[in-house]
Structure 1
Amino acid sequence: MCCTSFLGALLSFFIIAPISHSVITNYKSIIEDFTSTCITESNVEPTMVHDMIHNGNYVSNRALQCYLRCMYLKIGLLDEKGVINETAVKENAGVTDERIREHVVQSCRNVKGRDLCEKAYNLSKCTYYTVKSWHP
């Protein structure tokens, strides 16, 4: 019972704890040129974007999903047909360790979505949690 509670608490901490500051800083430098445009285009609440980037708070919200669509099209992670550019995913994972980058591609290359907004959201979520598992 004691060990189960401890493991549950540890797992909960790992899932809700934010990703490392260096990864956030790297990711923010990648998206900074398009942040304002994509916030305006998607009509997402800026606090929702901040919460996602800084705390890994992925709420199921259409505007947030479409913000990520806008961002990923501009960065080149996705094309208009929903094809994932694996080279761009590696280059924009927010980390420099090639093993982590390759793991992100392997883990996230087959994400799906009903449309580009949902696919971008699922790709972002997969990338975030894959990087976090290597770089908490």
Structure 2
Amino acid sequence: MKRFGLVLLLMCIVGSKKVPQRIVDSWINMVKPFQEVCGKTYGISSELARDVLINANPPNERSYQCYSSCIIREVGYLTHNRIFNITVLMEKVPFIPQELIRRCVPDAASDDDLCEKSYKNLNCLLQGMAED
């Protein structure tokens, strides 16, 4: 957990791109019912999850990867068959451009590891939404 704090501090110093507040707020409201369970299971605080989202730079750590997987499964974006449900994400977070969602899904879809698959997709979405 201390390592996450250090990574987060470095991200804030080095990176200046941010995800727009309307998207951050929409995402946080969508995942709020699942934050406690997923966060507790993988050791990710709601503060860390919010900061990572705002700064568009999730730590490439196994616990965060699996936390991402937990959240997107609970939201319904990742089905039980390990397939990304693009329609669910477009309905629940309409601020994310459809073309970005369609671009990010193939980048991660072939990955067999559910945690890595989820992390790659989330990272692609965050990088695509971040603005200077």
TM-score (norm 2): 0.76
Hey, what does 1:7 align to over in structure 2? Answer: none
Compute the displacement of 1:38 (Å): 0.5
Structure with the larger RCO, 1 or 2 (CA within 8 Å, 6+ apart) = 2
Report percent identity of matched pairs. 21
- CA contact under 8 A between 1:38 and 1:67: conserved in structure 2? yes
Higher Cα radius of gyration: 1
- CA contact under 8 A between 2:20 and 2:129: conserved in structure 1? no
List per-residue Cα deviations over 1:49-83 (Å, max 9, x = no partner).
23211211211111111111110110011123321
Question: Which runs of 4 or more aligned residues in structure 1 lie more than 6 Å from their structure 2 counterparts after TM superposition?
Answer: none
- CA contact under 8 A between 1:93 and 1:101: conserved in structure 2? no
- Cα distance in 2 for residues equivalent to 1:84 and 1:26: 19
Aligned length: 116
Hey, what does 1:117 align to over in structure 2? Answer: 115
- Cα distance in 2 for residues equivalent to 1:127 and 1:17: 13
- Cα distance in 2 for residues equivalent to 1:109 and 1:44: 24
What's the Cα RMSD here? 2.0
- Cα distance in 2 for residues equivalent to 1:67 and 1:94: 22
Compute the displacement of 1:45 (Å): 4.7
Unaligned runs of 5+ in 2: 1-14
- Cα distance in 2 for residues equivalent to 1:58 and 1:31: 16
TM-score (norm 1): 0.74
Note if 1:101 corresponds to 2:90: no
